[in-house]
Chain A
Amino acid sequence: ETGVTQSPTHLIKTRGQQVTLRCSSQSGHNTVSWYQQALGQGPQFIFQYYREEENGRGNFPPRFSGLQFPNYSSELNVNALELDDSALYLCASSTIRNEQFFGPGTRLTVL
């Protein structure tokens, strides 16, 4: 059984650019959640997808968007990058009623 994987591991972008981060969920999991973890902080919930539909959203602007595919993998897209978007982005998969299993994260640096 493979765990949650994320790509890329690291990414450097400049302000105003767009970025796509990817996540493959753990086998048997149909729910994916995305979190942003700024340096020295706890993770902050961005949104969750369940069976390809958004199932809750945190306090993030619309330039943060996502997708979930039929195989339950997911993408996080961020448009018009700002310096404050620099963070570790974590993906977690779960079945809807169980605990979330996290991937290793994507470190995004915005210059």
Chain B
Amino acid sequence: AQSVTQPDIHITVSEGASLELRCNYSYGATPYLFWYVQSPGQGLQLLLKYFSGDTLVQGIKGFEAEFKRSQSSFNLRKPSVHWSDAAEYFCAVGAGSGNTGKLIFGQGTTLQVKP
């Protein structure tokens, strides 16, 4: 069955420290992968996406993610976290034949940033 797992429910990092949020997926075909961010009471904003090609993808706000097929992972990274990065982060896989179709989301990781 198609699924996304975000092993870390809650992460706390100090401002200026590096960040890595983990995401593992289960999907039979070549996945379309996404990271979204959600601030409290808000909708989802797309940070970055992987469809094909270069396995290291750059996104907005200084985020990047690396697709590793052998590990079924798509971890999100940022070299230096800012206080404004505190939010909920969701990894998602696009399930559909040749298009993004429905998105299957992980449970999310809450990021807290310490001053």
Across the interface, which residues of B come within 8 angstroms of A58, CB to CB? 102
Across the interface, which residues of A come within 8 angstroms of B49, CB to CB? 99
CB distance from A54 to the nearest CB of B (A): 12
Summarize B's interface: helix, strand, loop or mixed.
strand
Q: How many A-B residue pairs have CB under 8 A?
A: 58
Chain A CB within 8 A of B70 CB: no
* Complex-state Cα separation, A107 to B104, whole angstroms: 21
Are A102's CB and B44's CB within 8 A?
yes
Are B98's CB and A99's CB within 8 A?
no
* Complex-state Cα separation, A83 to B42, whole angstroms: 22
Q: Name A100's contact: one of B4, B41, B100, B107 (CB within 8 Å).
A: B100
Total interface residues on A, using CB and 8 Å?
27
Chain A CB within 8 A of B36 CB: yes
Listed by A's residue number, 9 A-B pairs whose Cβ atoms lie within 8 Å are A40-B108, A42-B4, A43-B105, A55-B101, A90-B44, A96-B100, A100-B100, A102-B36, A105-B43
Are B104's CB and A45's CB within 8 A?
yes
CB distance from B9 to the nearest CB of A (A): 9
Residues of chain A having any CB pair with chain B under 8 Å: 4, 33, 35, 40-45, 48, 55-56, 58, 90, 92, 94, 96-105, 107
With A48-B102, A100-B103 given, name 18 new contacts (CB 8 A).
A33-B103, A35-B103, A40-B108, A41-B108, A42-B4, A42-B92, A42-B105, A42-B106, A43-B105, A48-B101, A56-B96, A96-B100, A99-B46, A101-B46, A102-B36, A102-B43, A102-B44, A104-B43
